[in-house]
A and B are shown apart, each in its own frame.
Chain A
């Protein structure tokens, strides 16, 4: 079982948190902080498994994480999950995000956390792995987005508003865009090539 999925950046700012067991908000924040604390002090070339989150889990649970450019993807899983399998799952997740957002960067996650949730929902459900085939995930996500779009078009030209608001805030986004170039999560670059190859088996 997967107990929680967390994404936060290099400064510990949460970008997505999905807990498959209920905690109240304060504890959730503590968990995020603690996890960040544990994960962030690790070097780049150490293993991606961690034991010893105090708040979440206990002895049976492990933190499995990957670090892509500015973002940490952390899965908290128990012993029924295969460690290497989860590492691959994170990879699939990131690659899916990359496909869905077209060259995903931290900004995409910041502004579209709902979409990230929707993508994640096609991969993991209630703490169990639902789908690992990237194409299948993308097909389902796209189909739902299409449906959403058709509904929107039928009722209100909401996209028009979104667009105008978006343009109004152009200055703001522009500023972040420059930094976005450097924080792009292009998984291929940051992934040690040997590593990526080894775990690719589906």
Chain B
């Protein structure tokens, strides 16, 4: 039956759905690829059909195939089609597919902008949710820019479900479009205190991510986070915040001091292991940041170490792992407290869990001392033998080398032992770290002169036994060691016992199987050996030996001459000819040894990895100057390659112009840098990865002592490091005995330039004298090397772009781009058009009012700040004036004047401290002993600060109390002052900007809507809710009234005062005659008829805005209140008192608040039957329907629920929760409005007002 009804889609029945696909793949295990390729063909067919359900099904299957590794990017356009389905089911499938396979270079992504915008503003919260989720995965810089504003609006959505998603996605938007960070940040901050815990958690999440990368910009949020930390019970949030503090403390040690107590409390009180762990982590971070010892620090460290020990001892491997991880952090700064748990950590080395062993290894690194190094390494060597699996063994190997070589071999007392360890390590099978061992051998042999004899002997043995290293195929990696061995034997060949034997070993035919670069070293060093042998043999009378050696060379070298490796071949043939020549000379009995030796004379010194970079540019050399004339610009592009060679032609070599002006040079420099940055073949100055060798200050002053070789060092065969352990112990014993004797006589100076502590017992590590003085030749640096400029930051880090000062006030130019014409044009199907338009009108309305509100707040704050500044700041006065100069010279005089006058009066209150609010917060309490109290006090204090700073305090916040400082307690006043000081200059500028802004727009009559807000095909006429309140020759007042959503009895009246005369207006007082129903909110303590001081003064031509809160009882009737503004007009010579009467008109519209409503909810509301009906007809309205709607939306605070052709339903809500529903229909010039509301009086009045709006135009 059902089949017949849906005849059109009967094909579907035979389509595979996802389940069938999966099942099919499982049934075709043998020829999976083939089966899938037929499936893909089917899918391609399905995608060609018009039926969206079929398409969605196909896309769903593609998503699955994508997971299996099939490229499905060819279906990107179909995915977009499915995304734009009106059905949630398909939309979700589309967005899922998009999130799985779209990325920045998917070109169809730009087609989605409008669709996503539409979904974001969809009345169905799940459409919005699905769009946000999808967008979070594939947002591109373009999408981020175009949608930032829409998403920002969603951050204040009524549904927490949408809010939290919108908040989270902002992080992605910031990453892709860093310019959005500053405009969006106030709102993001506001969400930290959202009533919904999910939203709050999302906001914390985002800010933590941001702060982790650029912590310094978020320091000012510390008080707010501190408050959250002490008040929140959500462990997710707490963990994030605590982690954030861990990132902040290194920047501000005082913050750490403040944190320690509450964190310690949490450690004691929490039962959640994760929280405990994070607390311990952050306490550690704090302790690291506090370099100076505070008395109770050792207690904190002890607590941490103790808690960590508990974790490590736990049977849960996860806790054990994390415990070790955190322990390694303490190790860096407080090695002593960790070292006492050495037993535990060595125990972990035997753990069956590799991750735990690795962590324990990390810890060992910091726990070694001169005393226990050999013991620990011995233990590690045992593990090396036991270890199965190359990864862990390689890790052990690197660790051994790390431990031994750390801080310039600080802990090695016996280098013979170390060399023998390295040689032992070469016996490891299949290690990848041959080059590491090799470089250690080279490093030690070059830098520790005393060890060369021993090293050379060992290396010669290695070369002799090279077959052991190369015999096995698995041992490829280790043959790198031979590179080092050959080089050491060659370079320090004078120390060789039997150079001829070594030379023989180096020229064995088997060498030819080694990698090319090693062969090259062999050949070169064979030549060095040859030179040494010649030298030693020339003294003898018997010249046959020397000739034999030459013959050996001549016999063996041809093997290398045939090498396929260019380097080997070149060196071999060169040396072969040389030896042949030498042989000729030898036959003539010419003494040539000296000359041959001279070929390799001169010591090679180690060079610091950064040395090249630090070579200073010699005076007079301008690397940026052109050597030849730059190719002329007229040359076409394909000629340019020729120009490179052309410069060698003589005609170009005339003397270059020396008078290239600086600007030009700078420009070229810039261009070249750019080019280099883009050129993949240009080696950029990336941070060197080799940073193993840190310079230890003062090492070079260590006197070199002779090695006392009382014990024969000759060890046959491969050395055993254990022997050296024994030898070393004996030596130490002897040393100790000797030292005791010496000490009895007199305390002589100690070696090793490091400050000697008190005689800390015979076992103290200082007493162990190294067997060889580590004449560690510090790496050479060029003379007058430039001071170090370590910039290790990755220039490609996307977070670098987010390093933005968030405390600076917003400039107008930074406002988020709102929907513009260009974006709207990208994809426009006729069906979408209508919806989009109504959405836009609604959107713009909301936006503009919101922006205005925010701006007002900004201004309010600025005003306060500047006022306080004026009182307090004398020192900075001049710089302030300078700042003004830049902005508007003509205002300079009057402002300066007023500042001086008010300043005198307020002088006594100006206290010390040039500290910011954060400084104040940090310094206010030197952590009282009662911790709980401290926390709450701090939290309480943090509250007002954060609210003030947030700049987006909820509307309910009455502004007056803030304005009238006299009411404030002294402490908070004090605080505020400090808080404002720092930013004052910027604020000033900002204030000025606002003045100008208003000045211009008001001059034109009405204030226009935000620039660029409305740019539709038929642009909406500029609209403003500000209407004229009163005006005389001195001043003009315009006002706007907004309901307050949070408080059903409050409305906020924003009044813009504009100074129209040439004089200075001051001491403005705003007063209204209260009625029974409505009252002006006055600060506590003032009488019912007192006026309110307008918290600013107006220089000529300037306008500024003040806000007044009124309390209403009934809102169903419009009202008018009489009021007066009194002010003083101050000229240079005189001042007069003036007043201006006005009538404040509270329309019923002003009690309405734009509230978005979903069509389902709307339908339910209408069905409920609680609403009273009323209707009105407007005649002769000549404007496009969407203008009409926009006008109703804007003027009367409605939102469009749904629009179909020339009919639209609209909704609004009063501050006292009356629902107002409209059905607007238009035919010709007649507009009929049917309305429903649960309060008939209110409805009647609103309709009257709407009617009036349209009769005016």
Judging by beta carbons under 8 Å apart, are A162 and B206 in contact? no
Judging by beta carbons under 8 Å apart, are A83 and B318 in contact? yes
Closest B residue, CB atoms, query A132: B236
Question: Which has the most chain A C-beta neighbours within 10 Å: B92, B124, B206, B391?
Answer: B92
Determine if A55 is an interface residue (Cβ-Cβ < 8 Å): no
Q: How far is the CA of A22 from the CA of B9 in the complex (A)?
A: 36
Judging by beta carbons under 8 Å apart, are A201 and B235 in contact? yes
The smallest beta-carbon distance between A22 and chain B, in angstroms, is 4
Judging by beta carbons under 8 Å apart, are B126 and A144 in contact? yes
Q: How far is the CA of A121 from the CA of B169 in the complex (A)?
A: 13
Judging by beta carbons under 8 Å apart, are A131 and B198 in contact? yes
Determine if B626 is an interface residue (Cβ-Cβ < 8 Å): no
Q: Of the listed stretches B266-274, B368-376, B865-873, B1211-1219, name the one at the interface; the rest are far from the partner chain.
A: B266-274
The smallest beta-carbon distance between B58 and chain A, in angstroms, is 13
Determine if A158 is an interface residue (Cβ-Cβ < 8 Å): yes
Which B residues, 200 to 258, have Cβ-Cβ distances below 8 Å to chain A?
201-202, 205-206, 208-209, 212, 234-236, 239, 243
Judging by beta carbons under 8 Å apart, are A85 and B236 in contact? yes
Determine if A87 is an interface residue (Cβ-Cβ < 8 Å): yes
Contact with A along B134-164 (1 / 0, CB 8 A): 0011010000000000000000000001001
Q: How far is the CA of A143 from the CA of B587 in the complex (A)?
A: 101
Contact with A along B311-343 (1 / 0, CB 8 A): 000011111111000000000000000000000
Chain A residues whose C-beta falls within 8 Å of the C-beta of B130 in the assembled complex: 121
Which A residues, 120 to 177, have Cβ-Cβ distances below 8 Å to chain B?
121, 125-133, 136, 140, 143-144, 147-148, 151-152, 155-158, 160-162, 165-166, 169, 172-173, 176
Judging by beta carbons under 8 Å apart, are A143 and B126 in contact? yes
The smallest beta-carbon distance between A52 and chain B, in angstroms, is 8
Judging by beta carbons under 8 Å apart, are B89 and A148 in contact? yes
Chain A residues whose C-beta falls within 8 Å of the C-beta of B277 in the assembled complex: 82-84
Contacts A22-B103, A111-B19, A165-B17 known; A126 to B274 CB distance under 8 Å?
no
Q: Which of B20, B63, B69, B171 contacts A169 (CB 8 A)?
A: B20
Chain B residues whose C-beta falls within 8 Å of the C-beta of A46 in the assembled complex: 317, 352-356
Determine if A189 is an interface residue (Cβ-Cβ < 8 Å): no
Contacts A14-B68, A25-B71 known; A130 to B13 CB distance under 8 Å?
no
Question: Which has the most chain B C-beta neighbours within 10 Å: A117, A118, A155?
Answer: A117
Determine if B168 is an interface residue (Cβ-Cβ < 8 Å): yes
Determine if B53 is an interface residue (Cβ-Cβ < 8 Å): yes
Judging by beta carbons under 8 Å apart, are A47 and B317 in contact? yes
Judging by beta carbons under 8 Å apart, are A126 and B353 in contact? no
Judging by beta carbons under 8 Å apart, are A125 and B169 in contact? yes
Q: Which of B2, B6, B92, B272 contacts A144 (CB 8 A)?
A: B92
Determine if B984 is an interface residue (Cβ-Cβ < 8 Å): no
Closest A residue, CB atoms, query B65: A25
Total of A-B residue pairs, C-beta within 8 Å: 191
Q: Which of A80, A84, A132, A162 contacts B209 (CB 8 A)?
A: A80
Q: Which of A49, A132, A152 contacts B318 (CB 8 A)?
A: A49
Q: Which of A22, A24, A126, A157 contacts B169 (CB 8 A)?
A: A126
Judging by beta carbons under 8 Å apart, are A114 and B275 in contact? no
Contacts A125-B168, A128-B171, A143-B126 known; A82 to B274 CB distance under 8 Å?
yes
Q: How far is the CA of A160 from the CA of B205 in the complex (A)?
A: 44
Judging by beta carbons under 8 Å apart, are A118 and B92 in contact? yes
Judging by beta carbons under 8 Å apart, are B317 and A125 in contact? no
Determine if B600 is an interface residue (Cβ-Cβ < 8 Å): no
Chain A residues whose C-beta falls within 8 Å of the C-beta of B410 in the assembled complex: none
Determine if B500 is an interface residue (Cβ-Cβ < 8 Å): no
Q: How far is the CA of A116 from the CA of B713 in the complex (A)?
A: 69
Q: How far is the CA of A179 from the CA of B172 in the complex (A)?
A: 43
The smallest beta-carbon distance between A164 and chain B, in angstroms, is 8
Which A residues, 84 to 98, have Cβ-Cβ distances below 8 Å to chain B?
84-85, 87-88
Q: How far is the CA of A43 from the CA of B317 in the complex (A)?
A: 11
Q: How far is the CA of A143 from the CA of B272 in the complex (A)?
A: 32
Judging by beta carbons under 8 Å apart, are B69 and A28 in contact? yes
Chain A residues whose C-beta falls within 8 Å of the C-beta of B957 in the assembled complex: none
Determine if A50 is an interface residue (Cβ-Cβ < 8 Å): yes
Which A residues, 36 to 92, have Cβ-Cβ distances below 8 Å to chain B?
42-43, 45-52, 80, 82-85, 87-88
Chain A residues whose C-beta falls within 8 Å of the C-beta of B1125 in the assembled complex: none
The smallest beta-carbon distance between A88 and chain B, in angstroms, is 7
Chain A residues whose C-beta falls within 8 Å of the C-beta of B925 in the assembled complex: none
Judging by beta carbons under 8 Å apart, are B356 and A162 in contact? no
Determine if B23 is an interface residue (Cβ-Cβ < 8 Å): yes
The smallest beta-carbon distance between B161 and chain A, in angstroms, is 7
Determine if B505 is an interface residue (Cβ-Cβ < 8 Å): no
Closest B residue, CB atoms, query A28: B69
Q: How far is the CA of A63 from the CA of B171 in the complex (A)?
A: 23
Judging by beta carbons under 8 Å apart, are B164 and A130 in contact? yes
Judging by beta carbons under 8 Å apart, are B355 and A47 in contact? yes
Q: How far is the CA of A143 from the CA of B71 in the complex (A)?
A: 33
The smallest beta-carbon distance between B169 and chain A, in angstroms, is 6
Judging by beta carbons under 8 Å apart, are A22 and B104 in contact? yes
Question: Which has the most chain B C-beta neighbours within 10 Å: A29, A82, A85, A157?
Answer: A82
Chain B residues whose C-beta falls within 8 Å of the C-beta of A29 in the assembled complex: 69
Chain A residues whose C-beta falls within 8 Å of the C-beta of B92 in the assembled complex: 118, 144, 148
Q: How far is the CA of A83 from the CA of B324 in the complex (A)?
A: 13
Chain B residues whose C-beta falls within 8 Å of the C-beta of A194 in the assembled complex: 315-316
Contacts A46-B353, A172-B27 known; A126 to B171 CB distance under 8 Å?
yes
The smallest beta-carbon distance between A187 and chain B, in angstroms, is 16
Contacts A47-B321, A121-B133, A144-B88 known; A80 to B274 CB distance under 8 Å?
no
Judging by beta carbons under 8 Å apart, are A125 and B165 in contact? yes
Determine if B1221 is an interface residue (Cβ-Cβ < 8 Å): no
Chain A residues whose C-beta falls within 8 Å of the C-beta of B234 in the assembled complex: 202
Q: How far is the CA of A42 from the CA of B352 in the complex (A)?
A: 10
Closest A residue, CB atoms, query B93: A114
Judging by beta carbons under 8 Å apart, are B67 and A113 in contact? yes
The smallest beta-carbon distance between B1208 and chain A, in angstroms, is 24
Judging by beta carbons under 8 Å apart, are B71 and A24 in contact? yes
Closest A residue, CB atoms, query B66: A25
Q: How far is the CA of A14 from the CA of B353 in the complex (A)?
A: 26
Determine if B64 is an interface residue (Cβ-Cβ < 8 Å): yes
Chain B residues whose C-beta falls within 8 Å of the C-beta of A160 in the assembled complex: 2
Determine if B776 is an interface residue (Cβ-Cβ < 8 Å): no
Determine if A180 is an interface residue (Cβ-Cβ < 8 Å): no
Contacts A25-B70, A129-B236 known; A165 to B20 CB distance under 8 Å?
yes
Chain A residues whose C-beta falls within 8 Å of the C-beta of B9 in the assembled complex: 156
Judging by beta carbons under 8 Å apart, are A156 and B53 in contact? yes
Determine if B18 is an interface residue (Cβ-Cβ < 8 Å): yes
Contact with B along A185-202 (1 / 0, CB 8 A): 000000000110011011
Closest A residue, CB atoms, query B169: A126
Determine if A183 is an interface residue (Cβ-Cβ < 8 Å): no
Closest A residue, CB atoms, query B5: A157
Judging by beta carbons under 8 Å apart, are B53 and A88 in contact? no
Determine if B1246 is an interface residue (Cβ-Cβ < 8 Å): no
The smallest beta-carbon distance between B701 and chain A, in angstroms, is 37
Q: How far is the CA of A24 from the CA of B18 in the complex (A)?
A: 23
The smallest beta-carbon distance between A119 and chain B, in angstroms, is 12
Q: How far is the CA of A5 from the CA of B274 in the complex (A)?
A: 21
Which B residues, 1141 to 1175, have Cβ-Cβ distances below 8 Å to chain A?
none
19 contacts between A and B (CB under 8 A): A14-B68, A25-B70, A47-B317, A49-B355, A82-B278, A83-B322, A84-B322, A85-B239, A85-B274, A88-B274, A118-B92, A127-B136, A130-B168, A140-B129, A144-B88, A144-B92, A169-B23, A195-B316, A195-B318
Closest 3 CB pairs of A and B: A126-B136, A84-B274, A22-B103
Known: A111-B22, A125-B165, A201-B274. 12 other contacts (CB 8 A): A25-B69, A26-B69, A48-B318, A49-B321, A85-B274, A88-B274, A112-B18, A126-B168, A144-B126, A158-B53, A172-B23, A194-B316
Interface residues of B (CB under 8 A from A): 2, 6, 9, 12-13, 17-20, 22-23, 26-27, 53, 60, 63-64, 66-71, 87-89, 92-93, 96, 100, 103-104, 124, 126, 129-130, 132-133, 136-137, 139, 161, 164-165, 168-169, 171-172, 198, 201-202, 205-206, 208-209, 212, 234-236, 239, 243, 271-275, 277-278, 315-322, 352-356, 358, 391
